[in-house]
Structure 1
Amino acid sequence: MKIKTTYIHLILMTIFTFTESINILVVMPHIGKSHQLVFEPLFKKLTEKHKLTIITRYPQKNPGLNRRDINIAPDYLDISDTEILSFNNFTGSRIEKYTTVNLLAFIAHQACKDGLSHPNYMKFLKENNHFDLILIEVFNTPCFMGVAKKFNAPMIGLSSCMWLPWTFKWFGSDSNPSYVPNHFLDHTDRMSFLARVENTLIHIYSNIVYNSVIEKSGRQISKEYTDIDFNENGDIMGNISLLLINTHFILNSRLPMSPNSIGVGGIHVDSVPVKPLPQDLERIVNDSKHGVIYMSMGSTLRGDSFPEDKKQAILKAFSRIPQRIVWKWEGEMKNKPENVLTYRWVPQRDILCHPNTKLFISHGGLLGTIETINCGKPVLLLPQFGDQFANAAAVEQNGGGLVLNMNDVNDEILYEKLQILLSTNFSTSAKELSIRYKDRPLSPMDTALYWIEYVWRHKGAHFMKIESVDMPLYKYYLLDVITFLSIIALIVFYVIYAISKYVLTKLFIRQEKIKSS
């Protein structure tokens, strides 16, 4: 009888759990499609139980029954053409790394104007909607925080990349530049003195640009197009209950994270099964006696814009190795070696996890980096912009690959790197990193689902927020305490000085009297 009662209770609990539905608003306004791709599996999973409305530049063709996409892509944007950047846009200089935050500010301004002025968005704001929860991207578009004011629902931040310099303050996580590498630099958590100087200066500069350009511009655009001043009563970003960030301590920097900062690194590959390759590609990979090297510079950078001298050096190095190379390349590549095959599109994770794939050559984008670690394959990283330098440095530090700056590419150096990476030792190291990365108490997907529903169940779960988020700077850095203790110390020193002077003066006078007598 007891077993039967327990069974009934389990059925009732299951029915209750799966019938509770949350009405969720998702805001993904950034122009980079990869930012949305990170969380698409999460959105799909959420629609199995909850209702989603997604504001996006990349709407799904078949969103499904529980999903509605609000398309805010401008008419001039072809969402099928994601390769919008060229190698000619990047020089690899230090100055370029320092000013990446300025590029993000420019992109943010354009994304805010395009999105907030879009007829679909304006129409959406006029609808009589109610939302139980808001999932909003935390990157460079605070201008969309007006929806938080309008719908007044608990918020969860989504970050597709490692910590940005201005993100720490909203969640109370440690941003100490002595060991927390800047998003835009090629440092790890082990820095030399000069690296720490550079890291500190760029951390400060990045925050200045965010506060004086990105946030200020976003606020003006929000007031112009939606008549909402999202920071009228203080920085609304501090009201975000929880951050789901696409990082994991095994790969990214080990830093103290606040209770409301949850790492879900690998969420885009966690619940997506590896599929067989297209038939012709499957045959080529299987028939490659010495294995296959896959090369791709991502979904944003056009591979066929590769500098000609660097391309020739790479092809020369490829001609010296027995492996076949599958290279994601737009258009036709002339005069290539017989072992180099080009494809306009390749199912990246499927080929990376193929048993006969030996190595990945990548630009260091976080999604591809996570995929190759997940598959346990070594990677040669040629970082170009943004967080790619930091991602590449983290992979090399943790034994998953090697970094080669584009300016240093020649056939001899590349050939040497390939020999090292194709060795048994490096293959073993990459597999060990993969095992550590995937060894978790809960999968990234289950972790995200749990915390999303946790925030909703506890009406925003504001009790998770660290007190430092709302502290003024003088309190956070103990400037008032330091000032108080300094004054006390000065008073004590003055009293000691005065007493000493008085005593010494009396002794001196007495000695003089004795000498005189």
Structure 2
Amino acid sequence: MNLLGVLFFHIAFCNGAKILGVFNHPGASHTSLGKVLLKSLAEKGHEVVMISSFPMQERVSNYKDIPLPEHLEDLQRRNKMYFNKDQHSALQELRNMTLQHTEATFTNVGVKELLQSNESFDVVIMDWFFNEATLIFGHIYNAPVIFMSSFGNMALLNDFSGNVLPYSYVPGASILMSDDMSFQNRAIMTVFNVANSLYTVRRNRAHHEILKRYFNNPPTIEELKENIALVLSVSHFSFETPRPYTPNIIPIGGFHIQELQGLPQDIKQFLDGAKEGVIYFSLGSQIKLENLNENIFSSIMTSLGKASQKVLLKYENDLNYLPKNVKVVKWAPQMDVLAHPNIKLFITHGGVLSMIEAIHFHVPMICVPFNGDQNTNAAFIESRNIGLYIKSDDITEDVFTKMIKEVTSNPKYQREINFRSSLLRQQPVKPLDLAIYWVEHVIKHRSGNHLKTFATKLPWYKYYLVDVIGFFLCLAYIFIKIIFFTIKKLFCLTRNLLGYFTKSKTD
């Protein structure tokens, strides 16, 4: 039996692949997704190297971290960027940050050592967050690249996936609108997507400049994108607008939900003792409540104090005054909290992972979105009657109190969230198993070209049929010109004939 065990171990090890994970954006939610997938792949016998700002807390066999602490430190210095009211300025800071983090990846000591080593990899799994220059890892190791999209299946993926997402009903990743769009909404979506397509060219050029500073004669970003085998998309129709998918986009929404780890004793006692229910308030890992306007924060705290339920509040610092029904924690295991039967409402920033977890554990929401996909998620939450949303600037004591009472007392929100939960839970294949299957599919075939539509090879004017439309417009123009020419000639001929007969009668 011992011999068989050793034999099976060596067979599994020999069949295992070498996987490089590149999650250089220091967002905790982004990296947590990558860690769930890459840890599972390591447990299956694959050898994993993970570049991220959040190394594993526990030891995992076949799993090696290359930490990027400088990225996390920079993000923490920018913690007020999410409260920037100037959209243009906020976008500019986001662009500058992602460029800076991408370039800093190549100057990291651990990454430089990796690039100078003789390591080889069978596949590169990357978090996609405006970090196109890191596609160079696939080129260096001659390995296919798998993108993971934390924001789901969105138009920003279209240029390299060949997918088509109509602007008429698929809302953008940063616009507060649902799929039921007015004319104004559709006009905004069109401008937004066209502008992004134009900016993509500029962003690709900026990332190529980064590569030229660290590599000799690097391929263009457009050439590197051809090596993207598929996209693992954190998406599912239970929590986003139903939309088209090409075969190279695999929806794996909810794959990060694992077995519960158990609540800390103090939180467990607080939740267990709440016969009237509990409101859980958390704005995620990056948005700090302490950065809210003082009047808005005061309105929130007063509203929570008026609630008939107890409140578990995630807050970063100590508070001088707390309502009697509020317990403050600096950190809480969110999934374990949401799974508790006494949780009646989740007040959230609307990040996609928080939304998925609330739906999975059938907890209605009040969403306070700040930026990015939080806006789109908030609009979806309200449009599907699984909660309400309010912008932070619109919060007043009276309005927030009424919203809390509405969601906790109106049964429609619980009924609809239960329905959405059943959609998310009852999938034919577990999302994590689906993700692992497709990673191993790409490893086995060393490519994902067989999954791509021919759209990825077409220039934009062919993709959008500009040449065909132009051809038919020319035909229509020529046809109209011929008709007008014919009418003109007939008119002249008729006039000449009338003149001739008139003259004949006069003579």
Normalised TM-score (structure 1)? 0.89
- Does 2:243 match 1:247? no
Correspondences of 1:50-129 after superposition (within 5 Å): 50-74=46-70, 77=72, 86=79, 90-91=83-84, 93=85, 95-96=86-87, 98-129=88-119
In the other structure, the counterpart of 1:20 is: 15
Query: What's the CA shift for 1:222?
Result: 1.8
Conserved 8 A contact 1:101-1:209:
no
CA distance in 2, matches of 1:447, 1:17: 20
Pair 167,100 (structure 1): closer, same or farther in 2 beyond 3 Å: farther
Task: Name the CA distance, whole Å, in 1 between partners of 2:111 and 2:188.
Answer: 41
Residue in 2 aligned with 1:32?
27
Contact 1:242–1:260 (8 Å) recurs in 2: yes
Of 64-73 and 350-359, deviating more is 64-73
Q: Partners of 1:209 and 1:506 in 2: how far apart? A: 56
Q: Does 1:257 align with 2:253?
A: no
Matched with 1:8 is none
Q: How does 1:199-214 map to 2 (within 5 A)?
A: 199-212=189-202, 214=203
The DSSP-based 3-state class of the residue aligned with 1:319 is helix
| Counterparts of residues 92-491 of structure 1 (less than 5 Å) | 93=85, 95-96=86-87, 98-163=88-153, 165-212=155-202, 214-227=203-216, 229-231=218-220, 234-269=222-257, 272-423=258-409, 424-491=411-478
Quick one: distance in 2 between partners of 1:120 and 1:226? 17
Partner of 1:268, secondary structure, is coil
Contact map agreement 1:376 1:434 (CA 8 A) in 2: yes
- CA deviations on 1:371-400 (whole Å, 9 max, x unpaired) are 111100001111112221111111222222
TM-fit CA distance, 1:508: 4.2
Asked if structure 2 preserves the Cα contact closer than 8 Å seen for 1:274 and 1:350, the reply is: yes
Shift of 1:175: 3.5
Query: Which secondary structure does the structure 2 equivalent of 1:31 belong to?
Result: coil
Aligned-pair CA distance for 1:349: 0.7
Deviation at 1:42, TM superposition (A): 1.2
CA contact (8 A) 2:149 2:234 kept: yes
Q: Is the 8 A contact 1:73 1:115 kept in 2?
A: no
Q: Is the 8 A contact 1:84 1:300 kept in 2?
A: no
The 1:302/1:355 distance shift into structure 2, 3 A limit, reads same
Q: How many residues align?
A: 496
Letter in 2 for 1:109: L
Residues 493 and 355 (structure 1 numbering): CA distance in 2 closer, same or farther, change over 3 Å? Answer: same
Code of the aligned partner of 2:219:
F
Distance 2:378 2:9 in 1: 44
More deviation in 295-304 or 502-511?
A: 502-511
Match of 2:256, SS state, is: helix
What stretches of structure 1 of length at least 5 have no aligned partner?
Answer: 1-12
Q: CA deviation at 1:19?
A: 6.1
**Cα contact 1:85–1:300 (8 A) shared by 2:** no
Rounded Cα–Cα distance in structure 1 between residues aligned with 2:69 and 2:215: 17
Are the counterparts in 1 of residues 82 and 90 from structure 2 also a CA contact under 8 Å?
no
Q: Secondary structure at the match of 1:241?
A: strand
Distance 2:464 2:209 in 1: 30
Give the Cα separation in 2 of the matches to 1:84 and 1:241: 35
CA drift of 1:327 comes to 0.4
Q: Which moved more, 1:491-500 or 1:454-463?
A: 491-500
Q: Quote the Cα distance in structure 2 between the aligned partners of 1:505 and 1:312.
A: 83
Q: Which moved more, 1:41-50 or 1:496-505?
A: 496-505
Name the amino acid aligned to 2:139: K
- SS of 1:285's equivalent in the other structure is helix
Moved more, 355-364 or 31-40: 31-40
Deviation at 1:491, TM superposition (A): 2.7
TM-superposition CA deviations, 1:209-257 (whole Å, max 9, x none): 4432x3222221222123352317x442233110001111221122212
Q: CA RMSD in A?
A: 2.6
CA distance in 1, matches of 2:444, 2:106: 31
Letter paired with 1:72: L
Residue range with higher mean Cα deviation, 149-158 or 218-227: 218-227
Give the C-alpha shift of residue 128 in structure 1.
1.2
TM-score (norm 2): 0.91
CA distance in 2: counterparts of 1:100 and 1:415, whole angstroms: 30
SS in 2 for 1:47: helix
Residues 289 and 315 in structure 2, CA contact (< 8 A), matched pair in contact too: yes
Equivalent pairs: percent with the same residue? 28
1:196 positional shift: 2.0
For the structure 1 residues 85 and 370, does the alpha-carbon distance in structure 2 shift closer, same or farther, using more than 3 Å as the test? Answer: farther
Structure 1 letter corresponding to 2:463 = Y
Cα distance in 1 between the residues matched to 2:72 and 2:359: 33
1:200 to partner: Cα distance: 2.2
Unpaired segments of 5 or more residues in structure 2? 1-7
CA separation in 2, counterparts of 1:484 and 1:86?
A: 52
- After superposition, the C-alpha distances for 1:455-493 in whole angstroms (9 at most, x for unaligned) are 222331312111111211111121211222222223333
Task: Output one character per residue of 1:270-317: Cα deviation in whole Å (capped at 9) or x when no partner.
Answer: xx1123311121111111120111111111122333322122212221
Q: Is the 8 A contact 1:376 1:431 kept in 2?
A: yes
